[in-house]
A and B are shown apart, each in its own frame.
Chain A
Amino acid sequence: MSTRTTSLATAVSLRGVTKRFAVRGGPALTALASVDLDVYPGEFVSLIGPSGCGKSTLLRIIGDLVPPTEGEVTVNGKPAHQARLDRDYGVVFQDPVLYDWRTVARNIALPLEMMGWDRERRARRVREMLELVELRGFEHHYPWQLSGGMQQRVSIARALSFSPALLLMDEPFGALDEMTRERLNMELLRIWERSGNTVIFVTHSIPEAVFLSTRVVVMSARPGRIAGIVEVDLPQPRTAETRVQPRFFELVTEVRRRLRAGGAGAAAEEGPSEQDLLVAGEGQAP
């Protein structure tokens, strides 16, 4: 794979991305070690790995929310920082992170306000988005009047409202019950097919990763690196039938095998969690 030629065509290109966190009174902790990855436009790529493998950190590095210690991140042919300034990213977190003081409609309109859209245009787009995530009739509700699944749909609508080229999702359905999760998986696929976005999706559910993705990137325990990439050749569009196909189970087994090989054991649970480190601040190791 020659770097120069592919990076022009890639949606995301990572070269030697390394992240070290300073730990008080101890040696620096390497969360990510020399990660190389190319994601092509229109792909749905899942990052999967044990807790603390740095997958959330990697997602934040791609989104220029956390700076890498070393390495290069190119998004749509430009540095990640420039891509963030150009508003190329839509971000969805595990929690919906909706603003309590805004109604559903005004939550979805938040990025549009930041981009200086006029009221008319905002209202039109919010209507489209409510249609897309099937929340019509709830525009004047406050987030705390909605169920968890509905809140997460609002959060997805907000991320898609300004048509970002790249959708970054950090375990968006991790806090939901299994039934809601499967329904939202279907909805997400439908939205992805319609919008043609590139999606990078962090999860620790193997079936979810296989069901949704075109490729599954398996990461190893700390220090996080790519332990393997599984191409998901299940037919599109995916349906409820997909989950019972023999090929689906083969792929799930394949991902599981690679996770094991990558050392996804109890060892990964030791030490401070990735979330702790991220929230603790930008403790950059020297």
Chain B
Amino acid sequence: MSTAQAEGARRAPLGWVARRRGAAARKVAVFILVLGALWGLWELARALGEASGLRLGAFEVNDRTMPHVHDMLRQFVQPSRRNGPLLIAVLLQAAAFTAKEAVVGFLIGATVGFVIGVLLSNFRLLERGLLPYIVASQTVPILAIAPMVVVWMGAGLFSVAVIAAYLTFFPVAINTLRGLRSADPRAHELMASYAADRWRVLWKLEIPASLPYLFTALRIAAPASVVGAIIGELPSSIQGGLAGAILNFNQYYVSNPPALWATNIVAALLGMAFFGAVVLLERLVVHRAPEHVA
């Protein structure tokens, strides 16, 4: 027995703490290194392009097409227009506005997707009747659907959220369906030996077993909801969000290119923040063998 206990102790999570601290330090170092490398790559490409005078059709490397990274960053602390607030304040406000729409859309989409997944996994007939159209729905470009949604529901937060949800529900529905079916057949036999009813099997076995699949989908769906919100703002002519900022700074691109780049940096950060939030939530919720958490 004592051997088994020692064996267990060795696998106990105690030893991880020290190792994890070292790993965290290395991660930060790699992060800075990667960021620096990307910056260097951009400036190198710029320098090479400018020196060689390379032209690709209409494309030519200069301050307009490829502004310096430091110019983009400096733009954040410049006024957005004459005597206006700083660009960073404007962009953060726009990002918060879009984030609100995206969160609502994400919640609607994830809920609808999950419910669809549960229904389809429980009713084969429903799966065979509806699944082909659920898959087909994703081949219709969202850009074509967005204007119709705005006509039906009127421009506003809710219609934008519905457009975002259209991008979100699909991966969630498909992965929920797959995840619910992923449980070990013998785990089902085990539940049968407890004379478990359908609900118990769903609640105690299938849904917990589906969580890693669900979170894989949510990691795709969360940034997609940001894309959906930006696209949804376009036909609604909503000015307060990131789409408005993009359109606005696109108009002044020739005179001030870094402003549009700065806007895109904020959009990128918002997408990654959504992704990061899901990863964080997953860490809190899913306790799985390391190899299962991909």
Contact = CB atoms under 8 A, between A and B. Distances in A.
A101 B186 contact: no
A145 B11 contact: yes
Contact of A114 (B12, B200, B208, B290): B200
Interface string B209-242: 1010000000000000000000000000000000
B189 A60 contact: yes
A176 B204 CA distance: 28
A149 interface: yes
Given A97-B186, A147-B7, 15 more contacts: A87-B194, A91-B190, A93-B190, A97-B190, A101-B286, A111-B194, A114-B191, A114-B196, A114-B204, A141-B11, A141-B12, A143-B289, A144-B289, A147-B8, A149-B4
Counting chain A CB atoms within 10 Å of each CB, the highest count among B1, B186, B194, B196 belongs to B194
Contacts of B5: 137
Interface of B: 1, 4-5, 7-8, 11-13, 184-187, 189-196, 200, 204-205, 208-209, 211, 286-290, 292
A101 B7 contact: no
Contacts of A90: 193
Contacts of A168: 193
B195 A84 contact: yes
Nearest to A153: B4
B192 A142 contact: no
Interface in A173-189: none
B4 A147 contact: yes
A84 B205 contact: no
Contacts of B13: 145
A87 B208 contact: no
Nearest to B188: A65
Contacts of A87: 193-195
Contact of B289 (A100, A110, A134, A137): A100
Q: What are the nearest 3 A-B pairs in CB distance?
A: A144-B289, A91-B193, A114-B194
Q: Would you call the interface of chain A mostly helix, strand, loop, or mixed?
A: loop
A99 B187 contact: yes
Nearest to B4: A150
Given A134-B1, A146-B11, A91 B189 contact: yes
B290 to A, nearest CB: 8
B187 A146 contact: no
A145 B7 contact: no
B8 A85 contact: no
A95 interface: yes
B192 A65 contact: yes
Contacts of B211: 101
A89 B193 contact: yes
A95 B195 CA distance: 21
Contact of B193 (A63, A99, A142, A144): A63
A269 interface: no
B292 A100 contact: yes
B184 to A, nearest CB: 6
A254 to B, nearest CB: 33
A202 B49 CA distance: 73
Interface in A56-107: 60, 63-65, 84-87, 89-91, 93, 95, 97, 99-102
